[in-house]
Structure 1
Amino acid sequence: MANSKRRHWTFVGAAAAAVVLAAGIATAVSGGDPGEPKAFGHPPPAAVATDTSGATTTPGAGPGSDPGSAPDTAAGTGPAASGTKTSPTSSPADLKWGLDYSDTLTFDTPDQLNTALDDAKRLGMDYIRVDFGWEDYQSFANYPPDFSKFDNVVAGANARGLKVLATIDFPPPWARRAACKDTAACPPADNAVFANFVKQAVARYSARGVHYWEVWNEPNITAWAPLPDPADYTKLLVTVSAAIRAADPHAFILMGGLAADHPSPGAPFIAPYDFITAVAKAGGLKAVDGIGYHPYPDGDPATSSTFLAISQSPKSIITALNQAGAPNMPIWITETGANIPALIFGPPDQVKPQEAQQVQQAKREVDVLSSYPNVASFFWFSYQDSPPDRLFFGLRRGDGTYRPVFDTLQQIIADAKKAP
């Protein structure tokens, strides 16, 4: 079994992205009231959005699903059972809230796990999002999977009323393709073998209340090695989704959270519109209930290209869904956040100001995302910094101390849940 935490494949770890974000945060928060950043513009709430294709979007859920409803914890019931549609998102009160832990919880000590999940509960989160890498549970082909480490995560989440969104990815070395066997981001050599592993996992955890699954993480960049390939990804998506539904007919399945921008200058990247369009043409959109998306802003969220790409740009996610005949499919923001670039580049005296700016950025991200049609969730990346990966987005710093943004998110969520 794997004995160390694995890199979380998110484009925002790139140095270039950190520079852009630093500039964007500084611009966004300048001149604003710390309690209410009035300097920002704000896109109007939209019950119906018209895109440049001429199609009209009515926000709602994916086929046979209700992403706004929490699944029952008993097997045989779940989010796909109701068949109802969501209302258009127009305020934070409509969002489902989640916290990203990458691949950390599986390897935490009991005390660390309890603390991490207690924090999610304190924050008012509805979900935790965790990597569920195949390599963590089946290191050898001739041994059955050992799910004991994840059992503890699920039991802890259930005890606190937290739902689990598991991102299934990362085959063990023995199951990877020869062309990329040295990286965890390598697709499986045989999709059917991967699907068999997934089916075993879903059968085990659907009986324990886990009904939410995301198929891969950021497959539109090189987190799908060696190069992103929507047709290739679709083959895996269709095969794995069928396995999930065979084990849990009421599972809620997300297309792997798409990166919003290039991971670094010149790096391979397929824009979300193009990736979704290609997956839809290959028949993959019929296999899922929603789209995962990771719109880390490149400045003020109201004008950030990564946010506008949801529904406000000519080639938006909404445009792609309209053209694919799925205008009501929900968009789950399964990652977003704000880095502290001074911890990468310095100077040290900018760390505290940037942490204050991170607070304002969190408010703006919630405000803007909740105004867009089809957006169903807000997941903050991440719970704690990962200094080796240059990821300083955490609600906790690398030393475990809390950042101011922890209290900010707690208040945002509390206020949202009090709203009528």
Structure 2
Amino acid sequence: VGWVREDVQWARIEARPGTYDWTWYDKVLNAHRTNGVNVIGVLTPAVGWATPEPGDSPNEVSFFGPDPDLYAAFAKAVATRYRGVVQAWEIWNEPENGIHWRPAPDPAAYAQLLIKASAAIKSVDPQVTVLNGGVVPFDPGFLQALAAHGAWNAFDVLSVHPYVDPFTPETAQIGAVGIDNVRTLAARYGSKPIWVTEFGWGTGGCERDPVGRTNEEAQANYLVRGAALLRGAGAERVLWYNFKDRQVPCYGLIRGAGGDEDYSQAKPAATALRVLSQQVAGAAPQGAQDLMPQQTLLTFDDARGWGPAFPVGKPPLAGSTAQVHGGSGAAQIAYQFTSTDNDYVAFPRSTATPLPANTTRLGLWVYGDSSGHMLQVQLTDEQGEVLQYRLGFLGAPGWQFLSTSLGGEVEPGNRITGGNGRLDGAVRLKELIVDDNPNTATGSGTIYVDDMVAFLGGEVYAQRFGTGGEVVDVIWSPEGSS
């Protein structure tokens, strides 16, 4: 492991204004340097005396947004002391989350905090890397607001936390949600490296998985699969959250029993991380490898077989030769989103199209428009249940293959009709949908789609990594595939 992420807590260092106690962090951070481990220092949370919240205990931690000038002064002091010891500074943690920024997320206030803290840090350590406070990237609206408030150039690396638990990395599309979504957004304002500074699955029932659907073996599997998919999607660095559980089983690689300094009870995920790091250390991702049989479902050589667009009045799906991936034509989709609520355009099949038996993944070639909107399909099974699947996000102009797993359980928000949340028996394609992302987005665009492909048989994934003329393929088949 080459990197760790440490909370550098203001209240522990400067519980009283102007009085600094560096004892703890001198010990911890210098130990990392001695062991050759790079550090991301997270400057969070605030201390009570630096916030405007009258109910804060002045010498204790606070998650209320602090005075940005006081925060910047603290950031400068810390960056001065640990210049050469800490390689990157992350400004707060999940500021889009009301738990971590109280009383409610405030992108304008956080933008000022980020701008001032970054400038203060760079004034004493110009070469250090500055990250935004890591955000859960499902809704890009907060990042868009940061850019609108002038903070996009205040950080060097885009930090994200693509939590998809309790769902599997494949069914939740961790690469598409965690990386593709924000990379398309970043291209509008200025591309940056993307670091995953938190991701993980808890064990035993915690936070996002209160019923304990993920056991320790599954956690280890998801770690390897999630990390491989995130790196394959373009994440420059990937950090697991977290190292050790407290009293109850959760995201840790080490069980919580025995106290904070007992590291003797490693979960299988600790071994998984060690082996993965040994195998791909220093290797660069070289792309996904296709190992499954494929069958073309639709060629889109013409627009026959599609009904009128919905809502009524939207332009229909039209045949086109302006951009073609294969064959003699493709389908053109022109959309216009005018509402700041959720807006979409759906293209139903005139007659639902049967998928080949044992289809376990579905993919489509897409020529994007840099909008970042979502492309989705609705499928219906032989029980009449209708489920919605996200193929991916609309990227830059040029052909891109978007695909989704059809295995596993669909999250509640994509269950269009009642049922068990899974596809049972014969499956048919019902609709193709362009959905705005975020829901407040407005505007128009044109994309092209071509060659819808069904992947047959047990799901198999492979991500290739290479270095020095050698390659390592990380290959797996999710549980339940046959």
So what's the TM-score if we normalise by structure 2? 0.53
Residue 382 (1) aligns with residue 242 (2): yes
Q: Quick check: 216-225 or 398-407, which moved more?
A: 398-407
| Corresponding residue for residue 367 of structure 1 | 228
Which residue of 104, 114, 117 corresponds with 1:227?
Answer: 104
Q: CA deviation at 1:181?
A: 2.9
Residue 339 (1) aligns with residue 202 (2): yes
For 2:39, give the aligned amino acid: V
Determine which structure has the larger strand proportion and give its number: 2
Alpha-carbon separation, structure 2, partners of 1:214 and 1:255:
6
Alpha-carbon separation, structure 2, partners of 1:180 and 1:274:
30
| Corresponding residue for residue 398 of structure 1 | 256
| Corresponding residue for residue 292 of structure 2 | none
Per-residue Cα deviation, 1:125-180 (whole angstroms, up to 9, x for no partner): 11110101111111112x42221210001211111001111000222111112266
Residues 169 and 215, structure 1, Cα contact 8 Å, conserved in 2: yes
Per-residue Cα deviation, 1:18-66 (whole angstroms, up to 9, x for no partner): xxxxxxxxxxxxxxxxxxxxxxxxxxxxxxxxxxxxxxxxxxxxxxxxx
Alpha-carbon separation, structure 2, partners of 1:168 and 1:335:
15
| Corresponding residue for residue 5 of structure 2 | 129
Matched residue of 1:216: which SS?
A: strand
Alpha-carbon separation, structure 2, partners of 1:133 and 1:408:
30
Residues 176 and 233, structure 2, Cα contact 8 Å, conserved in 1: no
| Corresponding residue for residue 82 of structure 1 | none
Distance 1:155 1:218, change over 3 A: same
- The structure that has the greater radius of gyration is 2
Determine which structure has the larger helix proportion and give its number: 1
The aligned runs of 1:141-220 (5 Å cut-off) are 141=17, 143-178=18-53, 181=56, 184-188=62-66, 190-206=67-83, 208-220=84-96
Alpha-carbon separation, structure 1, partners of 2:239 and 2:252:
12
Alpha-carbon separation, structure 1, partners of 2:68 and 2:249:
31
| Corresponding residue for residue 323 of structure 1 | 188
Distance 1:305 1:176, change over 3 A: farther
Residue 302 (1) aligns with residue 170 (2): yes
Superposition RMSD on alpha carbons, in Å?
Answer: 2.3
Alpha-carbon separation, structure 2, partners of 1:177 and 1:339:
35
Q: CA deviation at 1:211?
A: 2.7
Alpha-carbon separation, structure 1, partners of 2:249 and 2:49:
29
Distance 1:379 1:418, change over 3 A: closer
Q: CA deviation at 1:404?
A: 1.0
Distance 1:173 1:304, change over 3 A: same
Which residue of 282, 293, 297 corresponds with 2:149?
Answer: 282
Residue 408 (1) aligns with residue 275 (2): no
Alpha-carbon separation, structure 2, partners of 1:418 and 1:129:
19
Residues 180 and 226, structure 1, Cα contact 8 Å, conserved in 2: no
Residues 180 and 225, structure 1, Cα contact 8 Å, conserved in 2: no
The percentage of counterpart residues that share the same residue type is 27
Distance 1:408 1:140, change over 3 A: same
Distance 1:180 1:275, change over 3 A: farther
Alpha-carbon separation, structure 1, partners of 2:210 and 2:20:
44
Alpha-carbon separation, structure 2, partners of 1:172 and 1:403:
34
Alpha-carbon separation, structure 2, partners of 1:211 and 1:280:
25
Matched residue of 1:338: which SS?
A: coil
Alpha-carbon separation, structure 2, partners of 1:292 and 1:321:
12
For 1:364, give the aligned amino acid: R
Q: CA deviation at 1:306?
A: 5.2
Alpha-carbon separation, structure 1, partners of 2:55 and 2:112:
18
Alpha-carbon separation, structure 2, partners of 1:346 and 1:144:
41
The aligned runs of 1:232-311 (5 Å cut-off) are 232-260=109-137, 271=139, 273-298=140-165, 299-304=167-172, 307-311=175-179
Matched residue of 1:259: which SS?
A: coil
Alpha-carbon separation, structure 2, partners of 1:392 and 1:367:
22
So what's the TM-score if we normalise by structure 1? 0.61
Alpha-carbon separation, structure 1, partners of 2:210 and 2:119:
48
Q: CA deviation at 1:303?
A: 3.5
Matched residue of 2:43: which SS?
A: strand
Alpha-carbon separation, structure 1, partners of 2:238 and 2:13:
28
Q: CA deviation at 1:308?
A: 2.1
Which structure is richer in relative contact order (CA contacts within 8 A, separation 6 or more)?
Answer: 1
Alpha-carbon separation, structure 2, partners of 1:228 and 1:305:
26
Distance 1:346 1:255, change over 3 A: closer
Q: CA deviation at 1:418?
A: 7.0
Alpha-carbon separation, structure 2, partners of 1:170 and 1:219:
10
Q: CA deviation at 1:209?
A: 2.5
> Can you give the 5+ residue segments of structure 1 that lack an aligned partner in the other structure?
1-124, 262-270
Alpha-carbon separation, structure 1, partners of 2:219 and 2:21:
39
